[in-house]
Amino acid sequence: MSAVAAGDALLSPGVTRRVIERFARRQDLAPDAGERLAVLTTRELEVVRLVALGLSNAEIAERLVISPLTAKTHVARAIAKLDVRDRVQLVILAYESGLVRPGGSEVAVRAS
């Protein structure tokens, strides 16, 4: 089974983190990005935050005490609701919205 099929990241966490940190330092972020997240449930928002922090589906499942398939479903639903192409765009949106910040600092997840 390939790493991607198993739910692992396509890029190494170190490379992903450097790309995200460089992107997040940009000043021309989308002002409506935070508003777009309002369509997510509290659990989907939490999963998006964990994806943005570089966790795989298996790691998300372990952290949230859910099955890897359930984690994958939450990721897929967030991608569909937010109308983004893939996990990378999901991560970009999480940073643009301020849900997560460079260096791994986390913002509290809102209750719905």
Q: Is 27 exposed, middle or buried (CB count within 10 Å of its CB: 0-12, 13-18, 19+)? A: exposed
Question: Among 27-31, 35-39, 49-53, which is the least confidently predicted range?
Answer: 27-31
pLDDT over 90 (residue 89): yes
This prediction's pTM: 0.68
Q: Which two tokens stand for residue 3?
A: 């790493």
Is 51 in contact with 75 (CB distance < 8 Å)? yes
Mean pLDDT within 13-41:
72
Instruction: With a cut of 90, say whether residue 50 has pLDDT above it.
Output: yes
Q: Is 3 exposed, middle or buried (0-12, 13-18, 19+ CB in 10 A)?
A: exposed
Fold of 13-104: Rossmann fold (3.40.50)
Query: Has residue 14 got a pLDDT over 60?
Result: yes
pLDDT over threshold 70, residue 11? no
Q: What DSSP designation does 39 have?
A: G
Distance of CA 20 to the CA centre of its chain: 11
Domain boundaries, the chain: 13-104
Average pLDDT score, the chain: 81
Instruction: Report the pLDDT value the prediction gives residue 108, as an integer from 0 to 100.
Output: 46
Q: Which residue has the tokens 């809102």?
A: 110
| pLDDT the model gives residue 28 | 53
